[in-house]
Chains A and B, each alone.
Chain A
Amino acid sequence: MPQIKCTDLTLGYGSQEILSGLSFEVNAGDYLCIVGENGSGKTTLMKTLLGLTKPLGGSIEFGDGVTARKIGYLPQQTDVQRDFPASVREIVLSGCLGHDGFRPFYNKADKALAQRSMERMNIADLSRRCYRELSGGQQQRVLLARALCATEEILLLDEPVAGLDPKVTAEMYELIESLNKNDNVTIIMISHDIDKALDYASHILHIGHEIIFGTKDNYLNSKHHAKKGDASYD
């Protein structure tokens, strides 16, 4: 049973269709990169997977310990967050609220989980610091630690390296890879950077005029054929 199985999805807002005929599945331990042009529907797909927007057609099934409400999420940062007065610890702890239901306060298990997540992201020493005073890379680690409090199974990352410098970008990719390889966390990542996506991903979903889904090798082969095909028309 795959963790997420999408069948013949149609995505869009209201009556406006952005993308249709989208089928793919994600299994435990996969590292799926979603690539595509701006406006091709990457963000809409992510919102649909998270349950923030409803698909216009088709179905999404969850299995293997994952539910629609058990997906960790690393969003792109908003303006509000950049000047938000909050300590690192407060933000990481808020990741635990999903499984707290109506219990008003954090319990010991929540605090231990938050501490462990911060240690995994190497930010335990920053726990009392103010979020808005951290560097871009540190802020992403804080948000990753929060996502890890919400789930151990599967993480959705929306352009996790946007705006980071090359050194920090490389560190971020390694951190994500270690979560995938060492902790067996399933990764779904939206990316602009196809080269880097190919370095790390096990599967690629290319959306746009044509939809390509498959393992990295399949994707490279189909790209290869496409290029050859183009050449023969020349």
Chain B
Amino acid sequence: MTDVFSTLGFYLSKPFVVNALIVGVLIALCSSLLGVTLVLKRYSFIGDGLSHVAFGAMAVAAVMGLTNDMPLVLTVTVVCAVLLLRMGKNAKIKGDAAIAMISVGSLAIGYLLMNIFNTGSSNLSGDVCSTLFGSTSILTLSTFDVWMCVILSVLVVLFFVLFYNKIFSVTFDENFARATGQRAGLYNLLIAIVIAVIIVVSMQLVGSLLISALVIFPALSAMRVFKSFKSVTVCAAIVSVVCALIGLFTSILAGTPVGSTIVAADIAVFAVFFVVGAVTKRTA
């Protein structure tokens, strides 16, 4: 046991591990906040779709030789998020199909571009793999990445707290909100932008393939057990942060990939909450 702690102590003295912990916890917190809304609005897959868009944008940034791809990736993803949520029910191509199209399309184009314009990077499939699974990038964060992540996270949390009641209202009943003079269109637009920001930030940690899990698992777990919007939201945030910490420490100690380990922790917690929810329902 002392061995474990001395190993942890050794790693915690390294700045790159501390950076990873800060960024990991912040991303877990942000991604869980809007998870409840996304699951209830039947947009569970938007995380997957948008993360593939972000992947495509990263590929474009790499081809263009940009050293800092964050601004481009953020812009493209925000535009796609707004298009997807805005089109909503009136679109010729319905929500799930639109998400599937954008998702698969940008993944394919991104990989294609990386292949065609492969400029000397010898390990292409390795690059793709780490973009998708985020296997090591969280351990190679620059100071700029960390600050960017901190600022964006603060903005996301601030937005969520200030618009909490509005988010509840447009999620529960958009028509009622619109009919009684709430600016539902504006709130939906803001939600779309924030989701895009969260996804771009989350890609650093778990990579684009596992973002859906990070957004959705904590929300689904909390919804098994808790019964008001506030308690579900708070519980989802706590579950997400705890799972992120468990995943990060486990991956440091056991040398497992960070993203997959965090998601595995999320799945385990979901299983526990599922059983607890079923038992309390039966006894109630």
**Which residues of A are in contact with B by a Cβ distance under 8 Å?**
47, 50-52, 69-73, 75, 78, 80-81, 84-87, 90-91, 93-95, 97-100, 104-106, 128-130, 132-133, 146-147, 150-151, 156
Contacts and interface: CB of A to CB of B under 8 A. Distances in A.
B229 A51 contact: no
Interface stretch (B8-16, B21-29, B175-183): B175-183
Contacts of A73: 175-176, 179-180
Given A86-B228, A87-B229, A90-B228, A51 B169 contact: no
Given A87-B229, A90-B230, A130-B228, 9 more contacts: A50-B178, A73-B176, A80-B41, A87-B230, A98-B182, A104-B162, A104-B165, A128-B228, A133-B227
Which one of B161, B163, B171, B172 has the greatest number of beta carbons of chain A within 10 Å?
B172
A90 B168 contact: yes
A147 B179 CA distance: 10
B223 interface: yes
Contacts, number: 96
Interface string B144-182: 000000000000000001111110110111011111111
Which one of B41, B182, B223 has the greatest number of beta carbons of chain A within 10 Å?
B182
Interface of B: 36, 40-42, 161-166, 168-169, 171-173, 175-182, 223, 226-230, 232
A130 B227 contact: yes
A176 B120 CA distance: 74
A52 B164 contact: no
Q: Determine chain B's interface SS by DSSP, over half rule.
A: helix
Contacts of A72: 180
B87 to A, nearest CB: 15
A230 B27 CA distance: 72
A100 B164 CA distance: 13
A105 B165 CA distance: 7
Contacts of B230: 87, 90
A85 B232 contact: yes
A93 B229 CA distance: 12
Contact of B180 (A80, A105, A150): A150
Contacts of B229: 84-87, 90
A84 B172 contact: yes
Contact of B179 (A52, A80, A84, A128): A52
A52 B40 contact: no
Nearest to A146: B176
A41 to B, nearest CB: 17
Nearest to A89: B228
Contacts of A100: 165
Contacts of B223: 85
Nearest to B42: A80
A69 B176 contact: no
Which one of B40, B166, B176 has the greatest number of beta carbons of chain A within 10 Å?
B176
A87 B227 contact: yes
Contact of A151 (B163, B172, B173, B180): B180
12 contacts: A47-B175, A51-B178, A75-B173, A75-B175, A80-B41, A84-B229, A85-B36, A94-B173, A97-B166, A97-B169, A150-B176, A150-B180
Contact of A94 (B41, B168, B181, B226): B168
Contacts of A147: 176
A208 B31 CA distance: 49
A97 B228 contact: no
Which one of A51, A73, A78 has the greatest number of beta carbons of chain B within 10 Å?
A73
Given A52-B179, A84-B40, A106-B165, A94 B228 contact: no
